[in-house]
Amino acid sequence: MSNLLLALTAVILAPFAGALISGIDRKFTAWFQGRVGPPIYQPFLDIIKLLGKECMAVNSRQRICVMVYLISAMTTVFLFFLGSDLLLIFFILTIGAVAFVLGAMSAPSPFSQIGAQRELIQVLTYEPLILLSFAGFFLVTGSFSVSYIQTWDQPLLFNLPLIYIALGFALTIKLRKSPFDISASHHGHQEIVKGSLTDYSGPQLAFVEIAHWYEIVFILAVFSLFWSTSLAGMAILLFLTYFAEIVIDNITARSTWRWMVAYVWPAGLGMIIINYVFILSI
């Protein structure tokens, strides 16, 4: 019962946490670039403004895809805080990713189409890494259940250091941050305008953004499994992880999808396999 309450609270609070994190992200980015930057509550203003704008959805399929993406992102957060199965969460995450790609593909705009194709390649790149990382949790603890993994008596980071790095790759791609922001260009760079987000506008864009905040919270929640023994250790690990993401976002240029596949697969899968050998040999 308490788990259910926790999960419901998490679903309600997650967008606020995600918005605050992205506000802090923008402030840090501005600080790195020697600017003042927008206030930390800026993402809230953006979303309320977008929700109040005229609805110009290209077609009705796009609306369905946006809702599926949002609901699947909410479900992943809900199931995680419920202490559910990591594999189930992974499949629901995939449904959301596919719905997002379908939404971009439903519009005939070439920018949206290119963004959708690139998003598909991104999904192809990070999915095996996430799945094999979850298998790494299983190899150490003997369970896919989040609530069981959280009760493990020592931090999993000591057993899974390379999987932590590989998951870092996967989740940078999932967060669409540089150098892997190839499907939806982020800041000022407009080679593909806004990629898979080009044809979303007004409330639809707001829902996509809210779903993305849920994803940020989910990703940080997955990273929290690496140090679930103490709250302070977890907080420090999450701060360092996300700070590293922001730094990498700021110091790298956008890669091509060929580079992404050719680099992330060998490096990520290699690290995961070495970590497997390390676990199984103990």
Partner 1 sequence: MFKKFINKLTLTSRVGSPWMVHLDCGSCNGCDIETWACLTPVYDMERFGIINVGNPKHADIFLVTGTVNHRNKHVLANVYNQMPAPRVVVSIGSCSNSGGIFRECYNVLGGADKIIPVDIYVPGCPPKPESIIDGALQAVKMFKNANS
Interacting residue ranges for partner 1, rule: CB under 8 A: 26, 30, 33-39, 42, 44-49, 51-56, 188, 190, 193-194, 197-202, 205
Helix, strand, coil fractions of the chain, as percent rounded to 5: 75, 0, 25
DSSP assignment of 193-254 equals: TTGGGTT--THHHHHHHHHHHHHHHHHHHHHHGGG-S-HHHHHHHHHHHHHHHHHHHHH-PP
Q: Distance (Å, rounded) from C-alpha 176 to C-alpha 26? A: 15
CB 227 within 8 A of CB 234: yes
> Which residue number, 7 or 58, has a Cβ lying nearer to partner 1?
58
Instruction: Supply the minimum distance, in Å, between the C-beta of residue 179 and partner 1.
Output: 20
> Which residue number, 37 or 161, has a Cβ lying nearer to partner 1?
37
Instruction: Supply the minimum distance, in Å, between the C-beta of residue 276 and partner 1.
Output: 43
Rg (CA), the chain: 18
> Which residue number, 42 or 250, has a Cβ lying nearer to partner 1?
42
Query: CA-CA distances (angstroms) from residue 106 to 65, 99, 210?
Result: 9, 10, 21
Q: Looking only at Cα atoms, what is the longest distance across the chain?
A: 60
> Which residue number, 144 or 200, has a Cβ lying nearer to partner 1?
200
Instruction: Supply the minimum distance, in Å, between the C-beta of residue 275 and partner 1.
Output: 40
Instruction: Supply the minimum distance, in Å, between the C-beta of residue 53 and partner 1.
Output: 5
Instruction: Supply the minimum distance, in Å, between the C-beta of residue 43 and partner 1.
Output: 9
Instruction: Supply the minimum distance, in Å, between the C-beta of residue 28 and partner 1.
Output: 13
Type of residue numbered 87: L
> Which residue number, 41 or 239, has a Cβ lying nearer to partner 1?
41
> Which residue number, 56 or 262, has a Cβ lying nearer to partner 1?
56
Query: CA-CA distances (angstroms) from residue 223 to 84, 90, 106, 132, 278?
Result: 16, 14, 33, 15, 20
